[in-house]
Amino acid sequence: MSVAHNRPTMAESKPLSPTAAHVLGLLLIACGALIALAAFGIGPLRDEGINGPAMLGVAAGGCFGGAGLALIAGPQSPLAARLFGILALGGLAVIGNWVAFGGGGRDCGGSVSLAFIGISGRLTDLSCRIPFGIGALACDGMLAVMAARTLQFAAGGPPRLATLVRAADWLLLASLAPILLPLLLFALGSAAAGAVATRIRSGAWPRNEAFIARQKERLAKLRAKPPAGSS
């Protein structure tokens, strides 16, 4: 005799209760307020840690504050939650765009890994701007999609503003090109290298026999199918 244990999976996990969402949201708002006030030398945090203009502190605070307000709004106020989500992502985009495209020199620390390219240590000026620029473009694309879909939601949902939403989706795809293209090239290069290695080792190019068999079966069915209009 076996006993089935129903354990909740990630897909079945329950959302935050309203009380927990309010508490977490208020904590995020408080963190955001401390960061924003620090940009003006107010509060326990130091403005020297911002390493930039005061707007960066305000933008960072907006990330936390927007996320907290979105949690508090919750599913009860979906439009407000979407707007506060735009505020949070917009703050992140401001920081990334300033680091990537703003004036002055740059000095970053840490590591960056993209496909088969890895950079670690101190990054100065251009080597600092490039990874932040890639992230900033991705944030800008996601922000455009969020804004377009929020406008569509406010206008009553699909099919309203479908052209605007499609344009935002294409903009997001274009903004992700610096990430997707190296990954695609790496995947194609790996597949080509594997095919060449198989050719050298066995004297024949690799063949996907299962795929070829499926295509032959599909072609045979199409040939056996009587033409339309025949009796």
Tens of pLDDT, residue by residue over 50-66, are 778 899 999 999 999 99
Percent of the chain with pLDDT over 70: 87
Name the residue among 12, 10, 60, 68 with its Cα closest to residue 35: 60
Residue 9 has pLDDT above 60, yes or no: no
Least confident of 95-104, 111-120, 151-160, 168-177: 111-120
Global confidence as pTM? 0.75
Percent of the chain having pLDDT more than 90?
55
Transcribe 9-38 into DSSP letters.
-TTTPPPPPHHHHHHHHHHHHHHHHHHHHH
Q: What is the pLDDT of residue 50?
A: 77
Whole-number pLDDT of residue 210:
80
User: Does 4 score more than 80 pLDDT?
Assistant: no
Query: Residue 71: CB partners within 8 Å, gap ≥ 6?
Result: 16, 21, 22, 24, 25, 28
Segment 164-183 mean pLDDT = 94
> What's the pLDDT at 46?
79
pLDDT at 23: 95
Nearest to 61 by CA among 32, 85, 31: 32
Report the pLDDT value the prediction gives residue 2, as an integer from 0 to 100. 47
| pLDDT mean across residues, the chain | 86
Candidates 93, 78, 89; CA nearest to 150 is 78
Confidence tier at 30 by pLDDT (50, 70, 90): very high
